[in-house]
Amino acid sequence: MVTRSELKEASLQRILTAGAARLRAEGLAGAAIAPVMQEAGLTHGAFYAHFGNKEELAAAAFRFALLDNRPRWIATVGRESWRSRLVRLGKRYLTMAHRDDLADSCALAALASDAGRSNAAFRKTYEEELRKSLRAICLAPDEGSPVDPARLDDAMAFMALCVGGIALARAVDDPDLSERILAVCRQAVERLAVPGTEPHTDPEEADHAGC
């Protein structure tokens, strides 16, 4: 028999799934309570069993979106050089398929402009998730894990190319220009990191590293 606690958790997952998809596709405006609850197949009143207001929903849905996306994008592949890792991740990110699939796209790219104009609470949430993604790119997913400063700088430049490249490619109407933006950003990623030593990885890091 399903318990009340299990039912509540299931409804929360439905709300977060609907909220994350709407945030990716529509930005912070997509976190309006009524359409999210309708998409989740739940009543408006059920919302308040989980969140106090739409700002709490937006923050939770944003975290949920990154929790879902990170492992799929920034998973490790054996032992690869730092440069090879960035090039591989860039090729997976800077694609026309990613550009066009708004509902399942990277929430960092989808919400970057909105975050800059949002309240301090959401900007803090955005910053926390960005930091997690940077650490994961650097194969240091745990907060206490050391990160090489030069590698972290590379990861920041890499994320700027990825997020900015996707944003610009979506913003223009000319399909040729859009594709060229993505191609140029992929090429810039290849020039970003000087070939270096093999990064240290172990099974635990491979299991937990994410975007």
Rg of the chain in Å (alpha carbons): 18
Closest C-alpha to 26, from 50, 47, 48, 54 = 54
DSSP 138: T
Residue of 192 and 211 predicted with greater confidence: 192
Residue of 1 and 46 predicted with greater confidence: 46
C-alpha distances out from residue 146 to 31, 106, 107, 141, Å: 35, 26, 26, 10
- Quote the CA–CA distance of 42 and 34 in Å, as a whole number: 10
Residue 205 has pLDDT above 60, yes or no: no
What pLDDT digit, counting tens, does each position of 57-105 carry?
Answer: 999 999 999 997 887 777 777 788 899 999 999 999 999 999 999 988 9
What pTM was computed for the model? 0.85
Q: Give residue 138's identity as a one-letter amino acid code.
A: C
Tell the CATH superfamily of the 59-208 domain.
Tetracycline Repressor, domain 2 (1.10.357.10)
Residue of 145 and 49 predicted with greater confidence: 49
Q: How far is the first Cα of the chain from the last one, in angstroms, to the nearest whole number?
A: 37
Helix axes 82-93, 120-137, angle to 10 degrees: 130
What is the DSSP secondary-structure string of 8-75? HHHHHHHHHHHHHHHHHHHGGGGG-HHHHHHHHT--GGGGGGT-SSHHHHHHHHHHHHHHHHHHHHS-
**Sequence spans of domains, the chain:** 59-208
